[in-house]
Amino acid sequence: DAKTTQPNSMESNEEEPVHLPCNHSTISGTDYIHWYRQLPSQGPEYVIHGLTSNVNNRMASLAIAEDRKSSTLILHRATLRDAAVYYCILRESSANDYKLSFGAGTTVTVRA
């Protein structure tokens, strides 16, 4: 499995942006970058994914470095509900890629 490296924890103030980095220096050309988050006492939920171009959706933005060896998940205005563990995961662009390989993730704390 391709590996990702994330900081253990990050803190933010409510209504401020949060930038969550992820390093994936061994990423292959066919790997997509996925982000999931897990709120306390819940199962993980999908946030966003991308291949090469930056991506935006209602939850977040994903900025991918030109060499694809790193990416950043951006929460534009953090709310208390965004306090969660955020996981950066690489997935092959293949129907045979059947699993999500979770690491330890980044624990995000949002201060009111």
Under the criterion CB under 8 A, does residue 55 sit at the interface with another protein? no
What part of residues 79-98 is at the interface with another protein (CB under 8 A)?
Answer: 85, 87, 91, 93-98
Number of H helices, E strands in the chain: 0, 9
C-alpha pair distances (Å), 79 with each of 21, 33, 76, 87, 109:
19, 24, 10, 18, 10
In this complex, which beta carbon is closest to another protein, that of residue 1 or of residue 15? Answer: 1
| Buried b / exposed e along 75-107 (16+ C-beta atoms within 10 A) | beebeeebbbbbbbbbbeeeeeeeeeeeeebbb
In this complex, which beta carbon is closest to another protein, that of residue 21 or of residue 103? Answer: 103
Under the criterion CB under 8 A, does residue 2 sit at the interface with another protein? no
What part of residues 25-54 is at the interface with another protein (CB under 8 A)?
Answer: 32, 36, 41-46, 49
Under the criterion CB under 8 A, does residue 101 sit at the interface with another protein? yes
Contact footprint for another protein (CB under 8 A): 32, 36, 41-46, 49, 85, 87, 91, 93-105
